[in-house]
Amino acid sequence: MVRGRRALAALAVAALVAACSDDGADDPAGDAGSTTTSTTEAPADAPGSPTVLGPDEDLYALAAGELTPGEPGELIAVQPVPGVLDGADVWRVLHWSASLEGDPVPVSGLVAAPAGAAPDGERTVVSWAHGTTGIADECAPSRDPVRLAGLALAAPLIERDMVVTFTDYEGLGTPGRHPYLVGESEARGVLDIVRAAQHLEVGAGDRVVIWGHSQGGHAALFANEVAEDWAPDLEVLGTIAVAPPSQLPVLARLDLRGNQLKHFVGMILATWPEAYPDADPADVAVPEALDSLDQVDEGCFPQVAAAWQATLDEPLLREGALETPPWPDLVEANEPGRRPGASPVLIVHGDDDSLIPAASSALLVDQMCAAGATVHRRTYPGADHSSVLAAAAADTAAWIDARTAGEAAPDDCANGADGGGAG
C-alpha cells in the first residue's frame, strides 16, 4: 500500500468536519419524487401489535407519547407513504432501539420494498445511512422522503428485488437530541431498522449490505464494526462508505477557529451529552458558544450553519479544551477504522472533494488495514462531495452484486495497492 500520505491528510483534514453534510438538496440520481406507486395497507407482522397509521396521521407525535418499551428492532408503528418511488411500496416506521446507556429509545425511518406481494424466499436488505441534515426533529429525512438523496439511489436496488431501509438515527424526529457523529448510536439505528423491516411482510431477510454517504459513511463504518456484537442475527455482506469523515483525533487538535467549522463543532458540543452524560460543554467551550448551543434546535443544517457563522467570530473552544477529560477519549472513540468489522468495505471518494479531502480516506485505509479489515478504496477524478455518488453508481452497483453473489472482495490490505483507481 502506498504510504506517506499522513502529512497531507493531517493538513487537509482541517476541512473534514465540514463535510459531514448531505442535506438532501443534492439528488445525484435524479428525481426521486415519482408518483406511480402507492399502497393502501401497511403490512405488519411484528411483536407488540404495532400501530398502523393512516397517511395523514402523525407518527412523530406517537413517538413523543407514552410507549411500552420493546427490544431493538421491534416495531412500534408503521405508516404508508404513497407515491415517492417507482416500483416500490414505501412505509414510514417507528421502532425500538437503545441509547448508549442501554435505555430503550424509539427511532424513525423509512422502508422501501418492491411493490406487490413478498416472494417465498428472503430478500437482501440494503441499509442506507444519510449525511448531515441537522439536529432538530424537523430535519428527520423520513419527514420529507422526496428530499432524501438515498431514496433515488434505491431505485436500482428495488429493481434487483431488494428491500432498502433508511434510518433517521436516534433523536432525529424522536425525543432527545440526535447524538451527532456518535458512531455507535448511528450504527444501532442503521442495524435496528433492518430488524424492523423484517417485521413487515416484505420478505426482508438476514443478509444485509450497509451503505452511507458523508456522516452516513461514518455511520456505515461503525455499523459494520459493531454488527457482530449488536446484531449477530444479521449477516452483513458488505459495507460501502462514501466520503466518510475520519481522522477525528487529528481534527480535534487543529485550530478550530475557521467559520466553516463552527456549526459542526457546535453540533458536537450540543449533542454529545445526549450519549455521554459526563461530556459537559461548559468544561471546554467559551461562554459565547454555550449561549448559542440551543441554535441546533431551531432549524436544519443550512439555518444552523448560517446562524453560527453570523453570531460567533471567536473560537468556540477555550484554551486547553482538547486536553480536558473526557473529551479526548470521546473523540478517539468515535474515530472509525479501529476494528476489523463484520464485512469487507468499499470506500468511495471524489478527488475534488473540498469538504472531506480524499487524502483523509487514504489514511483511513491505513488504519483499517492495521486493524485487520478487508477494504478497497476507489477515487473518482473530478467528483466532489456530492457528485461522487453518481460518478460511482455503476461501480457501487457491481460491488453490491458481487457481494450478494458470494464473490471474494478486493482487498487493498492484502495486495499492497493504494486502491486509488476507479476500477
pLDDT in tens, 180-211: 999 999 999 999 999 999 999 999 999 999 99
**pLDDT by residue (tens digit) across 343-382?**
999 999 999 998 889 999 999 999 999 999 999 999 999 9
Per-residue model confidence (pLDDT) at position 316: 80
Per-residue model confidence (pLDDT) at position 18: 41
Per-residue model confidence (pLDDT) at position 105: 97
Per-residue model confidence (pLDDT) at position 28: 32
Strand order in the sheet with 104-114: 51-52, 75-80, 88-98, 104-114, 163-167, 123-129, 204-213, 235-242, 345-350, 375-380
Q: Which of 143, 125, 174 lies closest to 23 in space, CA to CA?
A: 143
Residue 44 has pLDDT above 80, yes or no: no
Q: Among residues of the chain, what percentage have pLDDT more than 90?
A: 67
Domains of the chain: which residue ranges? 11-247+340-415, 257-332
Which homologous superfamily is 11-247+340-415 in? Alpha/Beta hydrolase fold, catalytic domain (3.40.50.1820)
Per-residue model confidence (pLDDT) at position 280: 96
Per-residue model confidence (pLDDT) at position 26: 37
Residue 401 has pLDDT above 60, yes or no: yes
User: Radius of gyration (Cα) for the chain, nearest Å?
Assistant: 20
* Torsional class of 406: left (φ above 0), alpha (ψ -120 to 50), beta (otherwise): left
**pLDDT by residue (tens digit) across 147-191?**
777 888 999 999 999 999 999 999 999 999 999 999 999 999 999
